[in-house]
Structure 1
C-alpha cells in the first residue's frame, strides 16, 4: 500500500470515528516501550468540529488507560461538560481530580500532527489533561512526585527546557522533531 493510500485510510478512519462517536482518539506509543523514561500520549480529533470544545491530550499513561480516559472525557463533553484550562475536575479519573492547561501552539506540529492534518492548520485549540500523583499534586506544584515529573510535559510553557523532560527532548531530537 502506498503512503498516499495509507494517509487516505487513516483520514477515513478519523472522519468515520468523528461521525460515529463525535471524536477520534489518536495514540502515540512510547519510542522505547522498555524504557520507563519513554512516554506515549494520546489526543482527540473532532471535539472542536463536533462540539466547539478544544481537543484533549493526555501524556504518560499506559495507552489503554489513555484511550479510556480520552473516551470518558469525550463522553463528558458530549453530555455538555466544558473543560476549562486552569481548573480541576472530578469524575474523569476514578478517585482523582484532573487539571487542564492550554497547550501552546508551538507544540502542535511536534505532538499533534494528525490533528493538524485533519484541521489543515496549526491553529486549533487543544488542552492538556494532567493527572495527579498519589498525593493529589500536579506536576507544577511543589511536592509533586519527582519520579513522575517526566511523564507529563508542561506544554503550557514554550521553553523546551522547562516544558520537556531531558528524555523526551532527546527522543524528539532523535526523530528530528526538535
Structure 2
C-alpha cells in the first residue's frame, strides 16, 4: 500500500468518502468520482463527467452529506440544490464502464460489486441529453454511462 492508498482510506474513515478527479484527455472529458460512500453509508457511489473539478468535488461532498442526513436519491428523479439554479438527475452507471472510469472503486471493493450513480446535468440553457438540439460538445462532455449510451427523456 502506498501513500495515495493510505490517504484514500484515511479520507473514507474521516469524511465518509474519498473523491478522485481525473483530468481531461484527448478523447475523454474530465470526471470526478467518489469511493467509500457505499462502504460507509450503503448508498451508491457518484461519478460526474464533464464539469469542472472544483464543482464536481463540491457536488460529491454535498451528495454524501445529504445521504448521511438520511436523504435517499432515486435514479430518474430530479433534484435541486446541487448546481445553483438547475435540477440534476441520476442514472445507474453500467458496470461495463467501471474499468475505464472507476479504477480506485474496483480497488477499494476488490471488484465491481458496488453501485454507482452518474449525475446528469443540463447545459446552462436547460438542454438535457435527450434534447434534440444538444450540441456535439455537450454530447462529448457528458457521455451517458448506462448500458446503451443513450438517455431517453426522464
> Structure 1-normalised TM-score?
0.78
Distance 1:125 1:11 in 2: 21
The aligned residue for residue 8 of structure 2 is 14
Over the aligned positions, Cα root-mean-square deviation in angstroms equals 1.7
Q: Which runs of 5+ in 2 are unaligned?
A: none
Cα deviation digits, residues 79-107 of structure 1 (max 9, x gap): 11211111110111111101100000111
Higher relative contact order (CA 8 A, sep 6+): 2
**Partner secondary structure for residue 79 of structure 2:** strand
Cα deviation digits, residues 101-152 of structure 1 (max 9, x gap): 0000111111100011001011210010011112323212333344312111
**Counterpart among 129, 137, 140 of residue 147 in structure 1:** 137
The aligned residue for residue 89 of structure 1 is 79
**Counterpart among 8, 22, 26 of residue 28 in structure 1:** 22
**Counterpart among 125, 135, 143 of residue 115 in structure 2:** 125
After superposition, where does 1:26-105 map in structure 2 within 5 Å? 26-32=20-26, 38-105=28-95
Q: In terms of Rg, which structure is larger?
A: 1
> Structure 2-normalised TM-score?
0.89
The aligned residue for residue 156 of structure 1 is 146
Whether the aligned pair in 1 keeps the contact of 2:96 and 2:147 (CA below 8 Å) is: no
Higher helix proportion: 1
